Chains A and B, each alone.
Chain A
Amino acid sequence: MSYKTIERTTEQLTKEDFASDQMVRWCPGCGNHAILAAVENVFPLIGYKKENFCVISGIGCSSRFPYYMNTYGFHGIHGRANAIATGVRLFNRGLSVWIPTGDGDSLAIGGNHFIHIIRRNLDVNIMLFNNEIYGLTKGQYSPTSKIGKVTKTSPYGTIEHPFNVGELVMGAQGTFFARVIDTNPKFITEVLLEAAKHDGTSVVEMLQNCVIFNDGTHDYVTGKDVRDEHQLILKHNEKMLFGKDKTKGIKLGMHGLEVIEIGKNGTIDDVLVHDMYRKDEGIHLMLAQMKPPHFPIALGVIRSADYDTYDALFEEQIVTAQKTGKIRSVDDILNSGDTWEV
C-alpha cells in the first residue's frame, strides 16, 4: 500500500527538484540518458515528499544512477542492490525505494537476491537496464547476451542460453513485470508511474543500447524499418493490435499465442484484450516470451497482479505483537523465566 501510505508532498515538485549537480558520466549516446530523464520526470508525478525517495544500486554502468539523482542514494557493491534495498524498505516503509540495476548486477552476480526479493514481493521498484553486455568492464557477454554472441570473453561466440527477464520474474512468482525501450522516454515515464502504483516488487526491463560495446543489439525491435511489426504496445483493457495500420493481432490458439492478420486469417473478435491485473500468470508469461521473427516483442505493463507484500505482512506481525505481546521492555525479558533473588 506504499502508494497510499508514503507521505506525500504539498509542494509542486518538478524535474529540477531531482536533478543532481554531478556531471553525468555515461557515454554520449548511451540509452541511460533517456532513462534518467524519464525517472526525473516521473518522481514529481508520483508526488511523494522528495526526502522519501531512496535510490539504491549495486555496480555497473546503470548503478551510477544514484549519483545523478538528487535523492537519498546508496551506491552499493556488485549484485547486492536488491539485498541492501530489502533492509532499507523493511526498516522504513515510509520510503519509496528504486533500484537501478543491470543484466550483470541482478541476473549474474546478484541472481539470488533478485529471485528472492521478487518471491517475497517486497514493495520496491526495480529498473533492470538490459543491454545484453558488460559495459563497465568493457565488453564481456552477460546472462542475457544472445547465443553465439562474439565478445571479448567469447571470441568463438557464447554457448550459453540467455535469460528472458520476464520468464525469470514470473518463475519467481513476480507480481509486476513491464518492458520498455530506451528510445521512448515518455513511454518509460508512463510505465514507471504504473510501477510506482503497484504494491509489491515491480520489475521494469529496460531494453537499453550500449553504444560502445553492443551497439544495435535491440535494433531488431527498435529499428525504424521493423518497429511497427516487432513491437506490441500493451494497454490494459485494449486489444493486442500491432503492425503499421494495426491490422495484426494476438490470438489465443490451441497451442498458445498466435499472430493473426485481421480479415485474412481472423477477425477483430479473435484478438485478445490485455488484462494486466489478471492473477493467473499464464498469458502474461506467454506475452513475455514472444519475440521476432514469429512474434512482436511485448512492451508496456505485462503483469500487475495484486498480492500481499512482504513488508506489509512484516509490519502487521509487529503491530499485532505490540498490541498483544506481554514483553514490553528488555527488563521484562531479563526477568522472564526462572529467576531468583540472592
Chain B
Amino acid sequence: MSGNKKILNKESVVIKFAGDCGDGMQLSGTIFSESAALMGNDIATFPDYPAEIRAPHNTIAGVSGYQVHVGKETRIIGDECDVLVAMNPASLKANLKWVKKGGLIITDEDSYNEKALEKAGYTSNPLEDDSLSSYRVIQAKITTMASETAKALGLAPKSAAQTKNMFCLGMIYAIFDYQLETPFNLLDKKFKTKPQIADVNKKVMQEGYAFAENLELIESKVHIAQVELPKGRYRNITGNIATAWGLLAASERSGHKLFLGSYPITPATDILIELAKYKSLGAKVFQAEDEIAGICSAIGASFAGALACTTTSGPGLSLKTEALGLAVMTELPLVVVDVQRGGPSTGLPTKSEQADLNMALFGRNGEGPCIVIAASSPGDCFYQAYNAAKYAMETMTPCILLTDGNIGQGSELFRIPKVADLPDIKPPVAKPNDPDFKPYRRDPETYVRQWAIPGMEGLRHRIGGLEKTDIFGAVSTDPLNHAKMVENRSQKVQRLANRLPLQTVDGEKEGDLLLVSWGSTKGSVSTAIKEVRANGKKVSHAHFSNIMPLPKNTGEVLRGFKKILVCELNSGQFANYLRMTHPQYQYLQYNKIQGLPFTVQEIVNQINNLI
C-alpha cells in the first residue's frame, strides 16, 4: 500500500494523541498501541488525562492525551513526539513543547474558531501566523470529512462528528504503512454488540487512510522497526493490571485465597476494579468505607489465613500508617501496594512521583520495620506483586510494594509466564494440635513466627497491638523483653536479605560512574546509558528492586565506582537512605519533582556533565 512514496526506516517513533476530554483520545491511543503490538512492534504507552472528569470544553485544563512509543525496543514512553495529533487549539498549545523540531503535527482545522482559540489562550491563530514554521503541519477539515462519511452511513450529526478520532487514526496508519486489518478486528471486538458503529468507524478510518495517501505533503512512508523478542506468547499490559494478576498468581501458588480490602483512589483504583472481576477464582474483594477499613479488614483476613492485600496511593498510605504498625506488631502477612502520585496531601493526583519512599521505610510510630520493594515497569509489576506476596507470607511481615502512576497506568509488551514456573511460596502455617505451638516462637534462622489460623484445633491464642513476651505472646511491658522483641522484628526483616537475589550491575563492576535508580525510572536511565555508551563512555547501572532490606552485596556494588549518581523523582530519598545504610560512600543526586518522568536527554546531560 506504499503507493509511489519513498520508504524511510526508523528504529522507533513517538506519537501523541491529544484532544479535548471526550474527543476519544484514550480510545485512539489504545487501539493504535494494541494494533502496533499485534503487528510486531514493541510498545510503551502512557495516558495523560486531567484530574477533572469533564473539564471545561476546549481549555488547556481539559486536554486529554495518550502517548505511544512504538519500535524495536521501547523501554520508555519517549521524551519528545515525532507526531502530534491535536484535535483542537488547546491540545496543540498544551503539547507543542513536547514535539520534536521538524516533527509532524496533524490538527483539525474545523476546531480553530475564535472562541476555541481564545479559550486556549491564543491571541492569533497558530495555523496562520508563523509560530509552527519549524514543524510539518497537516491541517485539514477532519470533523467535516469524518462527519460526511458517517452521516452518509446513517449516523446523527452529533455522533457522526465523534468519529473524527478514527479519521486521524486512519491517517496515522497510512503514514506508517500499517495494514488496516488488525485495527478493524479490534474495532469489531470493541463494538461487538453494535456492529453498525464498528462499520462506521471502519469506514471513517479508511477515509482518513485514503486522505493521507493522497496528501502531497507526505512525501514518504515510514516503516517502524519490528521488535526482536525472545520466543513466547505476548500481550500488552498496564502496571495496575499486572499488579492485580501478580497477586492472584501468588494466591494460586500459595494456596491462600486472596482478600483485598481497598478504597478507591487515583491512580490505584484500577487494581481494585480488576480484582473485583475474579470471583470465579475465589478472590474476596471488599470495597471498604475508607482507607483505614481497607487495611484493617485486610489485617483481619490475614489473621484468618488470607493472602491479604490493600491497594492505595500516597494520601491513603498516610491513613493506613497506624494499622501498618499493627500488622508489624502482630507479625501477620500483608501486602500494601502504593501506586505513588505527586504529593504531599492531595498533590497531583494524576501525575507521578517517587516521593513516598520515606513514608514506606519509616512512616510508623515506634520501631516498625516493613519490607519495601519497588516495580520498574508495567510488566515488572506482575513479578513484584508476586514477590511482595511471597515475602510477606514467608516472613509474616507487611510488605509495601511501591509502583507509581507512570507504570501503573502505562503499558508495555509482556511475555506471558506460566504460573507453574513462578517460584514456590511456602508460608509457615502451624500444624493443628501442635503441642509446642507458641504464638511468638521463631524459626532460629529466619526469626519468622508461625501462622496459626482461627478454626485450627488446639492452637487458640491471642495477638494484638500491645507488646508481647518473646515466645509466649502474653502482654508485657518488661523493658528487656521489649528491647528483645524490637530486635527480633528488625532481624526478621534484615534476615530476608539472606534469601533475596544479589544486586546486579549492568556494565562493568568498577569504573568512573555508577548510576543508581529504583522503581519506574529504570527505563529512562538504562536508555540514556545505552545512548552514552554508543558514544564510547563507560557508565554502569545498578537498579534496585529490593529496598528494605537492601541486597546483601549493596556495599560491594557501590565500592567499585569513583562517582555514584542516584537518580530519582523526589528530592533525594533513596540517596539519603544509602547515606544512612552505607555512609562510607559519596552520593551525587539527580532529582526531578515535576510530576513527570525523567527524559532520556536529561539523564544523558547529567552523565555528560560528570564524565
Q: Which A residues lie within 8 Å of B288 (CB)?
A: 83, 86
A254 at interface, CB cutoff 8 A = no
Q: Which residues of A271-326 have CB atoms within 8 Å of chain B's CB atoms? A: 314, 317-318, 320-322, 324-326
Residues in B whose Cβ lies below 8 Å from that of A335: 233, 235, 416
Indicate if the CB atoms of B462 and A330 lie closer than 8 Å.
Answer: no
B284 contacts chain A at the CB level, 8 A cutoff: yes
Is A1 interfacial (CB-CB < 8 Å)? no
* B191 interface contact, C-beta 8 A: no
Of A89-97, A161-169, A243-251, the one touching chain B = A89-97
Q: Which of B231, B252, B330, B464 has the most CB of A within 10 A?
A: B464
Are A330 and B248 closer than 8 Å at their CB atoms?
A: yes
Q: Given A318-B279, A330-B249, A334-B416, does the pair A80, B306 have CB atoms closer than 8 Å? A: no
Which of A35-43, A49-57, A198-206 participates in binding chain B? Answer: A49-57
The answer to whether B304 and A88 touch across the interface, beta carbons within 8 angstroms, is: yes
Contact B475 A67 (CB under 8 A): yes
Q: How many A-B residue pairs have CB under 8 A?
A: 200
* B249 cross-chain contacts in A, Cβ below 8 A: 330
B77 at the A interface (CB under 8 A):
no
Task: Provide the main secondary structure of the chain B interface.
Answer: mixed
Which residue of B has the minimal Cβ distance to A25?
B475
- Known A95-B304, A321-B279: A76·B236 in contact at CB below 8 Å: no
* A341 proximity list for chain B (CB < 8 A): 232-234
Q: Is B454 an interface residue (CB 8 A)?
A: yes
One of B4-12, B211-219, B291-299, B506-514 at the interface:
B291-299
Q: Do A90 and B460 touch (CB < 8 A)? A: no
Q: Return the contact of A94 from the options B323, B455, B461, B463 (Cβ within 8 A).
A: B455
A87 to B249, CA, bound (A): 21
B419 contact set on A, CB distance < 8 A: 329-331, 334
Which residues of the partner chain B approach A342 to less than 8 Å between Cβ atoms?
229-234
Would you call B487 an interface residue if the criterion is a C-beta within 8 Å of the partner chain's C-beta atoms? no
Decide yes or no whether B443 CB sits under 8 A from chain A. Answer: no
Kindly state whether residue A74 has any CB partner on chain B within 8 Å: yes
B140 within 8 A of A: no
Q: Are A90 and B297 in contact (CB under 8 A)?
A: yes
Q: Report if B301 contacts A (CB, 8 A).
A: yes
List residues of A (21-54) whose CB comes within 8 Å of B's CBs. Answer: 22, 49-52, 54
The answer to whether B417 and A334 have CB atoms under 8 Å apart is: yes
Residue of A66, A71, A338 most packed against chain B (CB within 10 A): A338
Residues B454-493 near A (CB distance < 8 A) = 454-466, 474-475
B461 touches A72 (CB 8 A): yes
CB distance from B276 to the nearest CB of A (A): 10
* Chain B residue with the shortest CB-CB distance to A73: B462
Report which of A66, A71, A91, A334 forms a contact with B259, defined as CB distance below 8 A: A91
- Provided the pairs A80-B323, A330-B249 are in contact, do residues A51 and B456 lie with their beta carbons within 8 angstroms? yes
Given A87-B308, A321-B279, A116-B293 contact (CB < 8 Å): yes
Residue from A87, A317, A330 within 8 A of B261 (CB atoms): A87
Known pairs A75-B466, A92-B304, A334-B417; A87 contacts B259 (CB<8 A): yes
Known: A52-B455, A87-B296. A75 touches B323 (CB 8 A): no
- Contact across chains for A338 and B278 when beta carbons are under 8 A apart: no
Residue in chain A with minimal CB distance to B330: A74
> Which residues does chain B contribute within 8 Å of A20, judged by CB atoms?
462
Q: Is A339's beta carbon under 8 Å from chain B?
A: yes
Closest residue of A by beta carbon distance from B249: A330
Contact A337 B235 (CB under 8 A): yes
Question: A91-B306, A329-B281, A338-B38 are known contacts. Are A50 and B300 too (CB-CB below 8 A)?
Answer: no
Q: Which A residues lie within 8 Å of B284 (CB)? A: 90-91, 314, 318
Q: Are A87 and B304 in contact (CB under 8 A)?
A: yes
> Are B460 and A71 within 8 A (Cβ)?
yes
> Nearest Cβ in chain A — how far from B325, in angstroms?
8
Give chain B interface residues in 405-444, CB to chain A under 8 Å.
416-419
B454 touches A83 (CB 8 A): no
- Interface: B245 (CB within 8 A): yes
Most chain-B CB neighbours within 10 Å: which of A70, A75, A330?
A330
Smallest CB–CB gap between A126 and chain B, Å? Answer: 14
> B322 to chain A: which residues have CB within 8 Å?
77
Alpha-carbon gap, A40 to B38, bound state (A) = 65
Closest-by-CB residue of A relative to B257 is A91
In the complex, the chain B residue whose C-beta lies closest to that of A18 is: B460
B280 interface contact, C-beta 8 A: yes
Instruction: Evaluate contact between A88 and B303: CB separation under 8 angstroms.
Output: yes
Q: How far is the CA of A245 from the CA of B221 in the complex (A)?
A: 102
B293, A112: Cβ atoms under 8 Å?
A: yes
Asked if B157 CB lies within 8 Å of chain A CBs, one says no
- With A74-B462, A112-B293 already in contact, the answer to whether A84 and B236 are too (CB < 8 A) is no
- Residues of A near B38 (CB, < 8 A) are 338, 340
Chain B: CB-nearest residue to A17: B460
Using A71-B460, A338-B235 as known contacts, say yes or no to A92 and B455 having CB atoms under 8 A apart. yes
A-B contact pairs, 22 of them (CB 8 A): A22-B474, A56-B300, A59-B465, A67-B462, A74-B463, A75-B466, A76-B464, A84-B303, A85-B300, A86-B261, A86-B296, A87-B259, A87-B303, A89-B300, A91-B259, A91-B304, A95-B455, A113-B289, A330-B281, A333-B248, A334-B417, A339-B235
A-binding residues in B (CB < 8 A): 34, 37-38, 186, 229-236, 245, 248-249, 252, 257, 259, 261, 278-282, 284, 286, 288-290, 292-293, 296-306, 308, 322-323, 325-326, 330, 416-419, 454-466, 474-475
Besides the known contacts A85-B300, A87-B261, A91-B304, 16 further A-B residue pairs in the complex with CB atoms under 8 A apart: A22-B475, A66-B464, A77-B326, A87-B259, A90-B284, A91-B257, A91-B284, A91-B305, A92-B305, A314-B284, A329-B281, A333-B278, A335-B233, A338-B186, A340-B235, A341-B233
Closest 4 CB pairs of A and B: A325-B280, A75-B464, A87-B300, A87-B297
